């Protein structure tokens, strides 16, 4: 509610209460408050999906920063906190501590997506050696369709990208279009092809 209008309505109501008021005066004050409340509610409601998506991007970025700080201290990326399901991702839908040993030292608390419904929400995957990782907001993007050119796209699958444009890494896949992700590191391997293949096994989920 705009502050000056809210203040005026409140002062008018207090003045009326102190001296007594007619039914018409009361109806006018109630109508003004109702109109202002409708305007405020409409503005908040319209902005909510965008605001929540902006928060998801910030959360994924903050998780990435914490994950990299963990590696600087421990020499590897943190382990997955949950036993992953069929998607191979440790996510909110599997357990509350979806990234092991990250909070509270490197991030105060692991974020939760209150709008995730039956989707994974925030999720994380790494390999056994902790040399490669991916962090995501799984299937919860509301205000936009994530495309192959999006900075938080689910997979790197264009040009010389490491992932094939199929399955969840297809830009036409619903899971791709509704997921934000960031990743980092390279898996170990005997040669370039082995490194590429082992890294893809982590970041192409």
pLDDT of residue 2: 53
pLDDT of residue 105: 97
- Is residue 178 within 8 A of residue 146, CB to CB? The reply is yes
Tens-digit pLDDT profile for residues 129-160: 999 999 999 999 999 999 999 999 999 987 66
User: Cα separations (Å) of 173 from 51, 86, 126, 202?
Assistant: 24, 17, 23, 18
Q: For residue 102, with 0-12 CB atoms within 10 Å meaning exposed, 13-18 middle and 19 or more buried, which class applies? A: buried
Blockwise average pLDDT, block size 10, the chain, 205 residues = 61 62 64 68 65 97 98 98 94 96 97 93 97 97 96 86 90 96 95 94 95
pLDDT of residue 1: 46
Q: What pTM did the predictor assign? A: 0.77
pLDDT of residue 43: 52
Beta bridge partners of 134: 125, 183
Backbone angles phi, psi at 123, to 5 degrees: -145, 165
Q: For residue 114, with 0-12 CB atoms within 10 Å meaning exposed, 13-18 middle and 19 or more buried, which class applies? A: exposed
pLDDT of residue 20: 59
pLDDT of residue 63: 98
Residue 164, token pair as written in the block: 């094939």
Return d(Cα 182, Cα 190) in angstroms, integer.
Answer: 25
pLDDT of residue 14: 67
- Is residue 174 within 8 A of residue 165, CB to CB? The reply is no
């Amino acid at each position: 509610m705009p502050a000056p209008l809210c203040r005026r309505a409140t002062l008018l109501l207090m003045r009326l209460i102190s001296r007594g008021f007619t039914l018409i005066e009361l109806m006018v004050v109630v109508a003004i408050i109702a109109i202002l409340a409708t305007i405020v509610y409409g503005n908040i409601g319209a902005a909510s999906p965008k605001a929540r998506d902006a928060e998801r991007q910030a959360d994924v970025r903050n998780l990435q920063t914490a994950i990299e700080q963990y590696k600087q201290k421990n020499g590897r990326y943190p382990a997955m906190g949950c036993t992953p399901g069929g998607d191979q991702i440790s996510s909110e839908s599997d357990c509350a501590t979806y990234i092991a040993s990250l909070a509270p030292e490197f991030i105060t608390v692991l974020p939760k997506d209150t709008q995730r419904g039956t989707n994974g929400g925030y999720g994380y995957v790494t390999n056994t050696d902790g040399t490669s990782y991916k962090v995501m907001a799984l299937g919860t993007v509301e205000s936009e369709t994530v495309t192959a050119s999006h900075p938080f796209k689910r997979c790197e699958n264009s040009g010389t990208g490491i992932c094939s444009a199929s399955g969840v890494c297809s830009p036409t896949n619903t899971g791709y279009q509704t997921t934000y992700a960031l990743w980092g590191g390279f898996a170990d391997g005997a040669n370039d092809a082995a490194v590429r293949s082992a890294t893809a096994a982590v970041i192409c989920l």
